[in-house]
Amino acid sequence: MKSITRSKLATAFVAAGLAFAAALPAAASPGFGPGMGGREMTPEMQERMQSRMQARLDKMANRLEIKASQQDAWQAYAKVHKDMFDGSMKAPAKDADAATLARHRADMAAKMAQKLATHADATAKLQSALTPEQAKTLADMTRHPMGGRHGKHGGFGGRGDHGHRGMMGSMGGGMGGMR
């Protein structure tokens, strides 16, 4: 992969991480944040999320047709992918002031940026273990991680029942509800 493409990919990962971290509502939770509608993530919700993540990884492995010689790189990639959502994103105190909330969001964005950089490294290692055709498939899946536009292109789903704004549309933009 050319360095300019790698740079664009890294930039996209960092931007996605920053958007993700900024969109997290500030409430205490045993998982990585409240679920949809501001509810705390119950152990059952966390288990379903982990199950869906594993199903997506299994689908990726099948689509990539991972060979035995590529298993080490694939397992390392899958571990890093799972570690991105390890529950380490804790919310500030419920009575935190504005400056504390802003600092918390900045810290969470920095933490997510580090996780995304680690994910980018694992992706590069996986890509180097793949055949050119597999690498092209990985690029397509990375470019359209939720199945492409409107769930087409044989991906992992689409927007489902979340409407035209997608799953994050109900989160109010992530910056204190400003729109």
Q: Would the pTM count as exceeding 0.75?
A: no
The predicted-structure confidence for 47-95, as pLDDT tens digits, reads as follows 888 899 999 999 999 999 999 999 999 999 999 998 887 776 778 888 9
3-state secondary structure 62-89: HHHCCCHHHHHHHHHHHHHHHHCCCCCC
For 10, the enclosing helix (H) or strand (E) is helix 3-23
**In the numeric block, which tokens belong to residue 170?**
């109900």
Sign of torsion, CA 121 125 128 130? negative
Contacts of 98 (CB under 8 A, 6+ apart): none
How large a percentage of the chain has pLDDT more than 70? 58
Cα first-last separation, the chain: 38
Instruction: Give the number of other CB atoms < 10 A from CB of residue 28.
Output: 12
Residue that has been written with the tokens 């919700």 in this structure: 45
How large a percentage of the chain has pLDDT more than 90? 42
The predicted-structure confidence for 132-160, as pLDDT tens digits, reads as follows 999 999 999 988 877 655 444 444 444 44
